[in-house]
Amino acid sequence: MFDFLKDWTSWVLILVVGSLLGLLPTIGG
| 1-29 pLDDT tens trace | 677 778 889 999 999 999 999 887 777 66
- The per-residue pLDDT for 12 is 93
Is-above-0.75 flag for pTM? no
What pLDDT sits at residue 16?
94
DSSP assignment letter at 3: H
Q: Could you tell me which of 2, 21, 22 has the C-alpha nearest to residue 10? A: 2
